[in-house]
Amino acid sequence: MQAQMDDGSFAYTFDAEAGTINPDDIVDLFAPADLHSVTTVERQRKALFAFLGIADRYPQEP
């Protein structure tokens, strides 16, 4: 509910291993992030396709 009330600027964290969201851990999507806690869009893309178990028909990196 919190994420909907803030015009989409907040999100719940997601545990990829458990496949669950944590409604008690809300992050500000536009807040500054520590350089060591971010990744590239390509790595996010690969992780999403792997999580969903589908093939990426248009991979960006070899």
What's the chain's average pLDDT?
82
pLDDT of 22 > 90? The answer is no
DSSP character string of the chain? -HHHHTTT-EEEEEETTTTEEEEEEEEETTS---GGG---HHHHHHHHHHHHT---SS-S--
Q: State yes or no: pLDDT of 56 exceeds 80.
A: yes
User: Is this prediction's pTM over 0.75?
Assistant: no
